[in-house]
Amino acid sequence: MTDSNSKSSKANTMWGGRFAAGPDAIMEAINASIGFDKRMAAQDIEGSRAHAAMLAATGIITDNDAAVIREGLLTILSEIDGGDFEFSTALEDIHMNVESRLKDLIGEPAGRLHTARSRNDQVALDFRMWVRNQTDAAIEGIQALMKALLVQAEAGADWVMPGFTHLQVAQPVTWGHHMMAYVEMLGRDLSRFQDARKRMNLCPLGAAALAGTSFPIDRHMTAQTLGFDGPTRNSLDTTADRDFALEFLAASSICAMHLSRFAEELVIWSSAQFRFVALSDRFSTGSSIMPQKKNPDAAELIRAKIGRIMGAMVGLFTVMKGLPLTYSKDMQEDKEQVFDAADSLMLALAAMTGMVSDLTANTDVLEVAAASGFSTATDLADWLVRELGLPFRDAHHITGSLVAMAESKGCDLPELTLDDMQSVHGDITQRVFDVLGVHNSVASRTSFGGTAPDQVRKQIVYWNEVLN
């Protein structure tokens, strides 16, 4: 008998007596998932060890069989970790590969492990535990990036820079305020992952194929052993559910979108036209032909990751949208895209954390840019309202006339003379120039959540308390 026939025979044995002939090569190729679901080996073995302990505790199998099974599973885990385990496509998936090897190691007791469970609840468990682990990793990665941003914000709470709308200079803001904007975004990302984790933290094991089991299992025991808050409450939903993966992908997509926005700013800011920041050599590359180039490749690649992650989300939504209850083989297509999205998100978070930690702001350039483009025009309008009691719409019109005058003279608003200003409105006084400097402008924005340095520092204190 050839090796391939031997593998097919073993696969048939695992399936049971229903099938007389082995799968042909095409069916084996489309049916097998071991090429990717072997990433869940640790979760599969952890779940099986908990299941064996529960079967013994409830008297379904003997304590001796359970002990032999659990030791055999540890041997298999050691073989996998050491790279000595031979994965077989003929055995389809991680569950059958592990069970087959367990039989080789311990013989008959291996056949008792699958009592009171199905591959349907087994894969639901493995995948949920894997996604839960990745959710924890994402939470840690987001927190690390937030802390790096807080360091930047604290250093630059007083540094002025232009704030933009439509990528046009709008009003002066502080560097710290800009960094804190991304802290807020990531704070929402953090809460989304934390919230999703609470919902996914129910144990599927024991739902069996779809209807539960007639064996006297203790689902609360396995749930507690595996770190879940409790067991799921409906066996049909349990085997059909992939919401936990969809929520992970949705939270990952929004987080990646935030990273992409910041990456875009870093690309713009590090250009020769802006020179707002300098990226470290660790996160830049050179050109093969232009020796002067320092390319923000890490930022550009982060910017691109959203496409893969969002694509994974759309892909899984498309798989799940038309499936009747409960399990369908379509759901085998749930994992590869989640694995890829998780890898992409963690890499993007780590790279962005490194870039932010190494980022150098060119404060002189930022301050000059903050004063350009008539950025204190709104401060002038506010002064006219506050000091002269004008309606804001009148103040807006007067300010627009002064901007037009400055533009025609080729200067900025602070460079207009008092006579220039009084030619538009005679009640304007010398005190107006106090609000036209960029530092005065940012210092005046003292409303809660505003760009004033004192407000920025209050938000830094708040977020440091949240994270620590």
Give tens-digit pLDDT for 39-90. Answer: 999 999 999 999 999 999 999 999 999 999 999 999 999 999 999 999 999 8
- What lies within 8 Å, CB to CB, of 445 at 6+ separation is 451, 452, 455
Q: Are strands 277-278 and 360-361 parallel, antiparallel or unpaired?
A: antiparallel
What pLDDT score was predicted for residue 190?
Answer: 98
Give me the mean pLDDT over the 14-29 stretch: 66
Q: Given pLDDT bands bounded at 50, 70 and 90, which one contains residue 14? A: low
Cβ atoms of 40 and 94 closer than 8 Å: yes
Q: List beta partners, residue 165.
A: 168
Q: List beta partners, residue 163.
A: 171
Structure tokens given for 129:
């535990």
Tell me the C-alpha distance between 247 and 197, whole Å: 9
- Which phi and psi (to 5°) does residue 286 adopt? -105, 180
pLDDT at residue 93 is higher than 80: yes
Catalytic residue numbers read 166, 287
DSSP 332: G
Tell me the C-alpha distance between 441 and 95, whole Å: 64
Cβ atoms of 172 and 438 closer than 8 Å: yes
Q: Given pLDDT bands bounded at 50, 70 and 90, which one contains residue 2? A: very low
What pLDDT score was predicted for residue 412?
Answer: 84
What pLDDT score was predicted for residue 21?
Answer: 56
Tell me the C-alpha distance between 70 and 67, whole Å: 5
Integer angstrom CA distances of residue 286 from 267, 274, 292, 458: 14, 19, 8, 40
**pLDDT by residue (tens digit) across 422-461?**
999 999 999 888 888 899 889 989 999 999 999 999 999 9
Query: Which one is predicted more confidently, 205 or 15?
Result: 205
DSSP 51-66: HHHHHHHTTSS-HHHH
Query: Which one is predicted more confidently, 288 or 369?
Result: 369
Percentage of residues in the chain with pLDDT exceeding 70? Answer: 93
Tell me the C-alpha distance between 222 and 58, whole Å: 11
**pLDDT by residue (tens digit) across 315-325?**
999 999 999 99
pLDDT at residue 291 is higher than 90: no
Q: Which of 197, 205, 201 is nearest to 238 (CA)?
A: 205
- Which phi and psi (to 5°) does residue 168 adopt? -110, 145
- Which phi and psi (to 5°) does residue 457 adopt? -65, -35
Q: Given pLDDT bands bounded at 50, 70 and 90, which one contains residue 235? A: very high
Tell me the C-alpha distance between 432 and 421, whole Å: 9
- What lies within 8 Å, CB to CB, of 389 at 6+ separation is none
Omega cis (within 30) before 326: yes
> Whole-prediction pTM value?
0.89
Per-chain mean pLDDT for the chain:
92
Integer angstrom CA distances of residue 125 from 105, 205, 213, 248: 24, 6, 16, 16
Query: 119-155 and 41-57 are packed helices; what angle lies between their axes, rounded to 10 degrees?
Result: 130
3-state secondary structure of 295: strand
pLDDT at residue 175 is higher than 60: yes
- What lies within 8 Å, CB to CB, of 457 at 6+ separation is 154, 157, 176
Tell me the C-alpha distance between 37 and 59, whole Å: 31
Q: Given pLDDT bands bounded at 50, 70 and 90, which one contains residue 295? A: confident
DSSP 229: S
Give me the mean pLDDT over the 169-195 stretch: 96
3-state secondary structure of 114: coil
